Amino acid sequence: MGAIGVIGAGSWGTTLADLLAKKGHDVILWAYEADLVKEMEETRVNSVFLPGITLSPRLRFTNSLQEAASGKEIVLFVSPTQVFRSVLKGALPFLTEETLLVNAAKGVELDTLKTISQISAELLPARLFANFCVISGPSFAREVAQEMPT
* C-beta of residue 94 within 8 angstroms of C-beta of residue 70: yes
**How far lies 17's CA from each of 37, 75, 93, 118, 134, in Å?**
14, 11, 22, 24, 16
pLDDT confidence bin for 149, thresholds 50/70/90: low
Q: Which strands make up the sheet holding 4-7, listed edge to edge?
A: 60-62, 27-30, 4-7, 74-77, 100-103, 132-134
* pTM score of the predicted model: 0.94
State residue 143's pLDDT score: 76
Domains, the chain, with CATH or none: 4-145 (3.40.50.720)
pLDDT digits (tens, 9 = 90+) for 73-114: 999 999 999 999 999 999 999 999 999 999 999 899 999 999
* C-beta of residue 30 within 8 angstroms of C-beta of residue 102: no
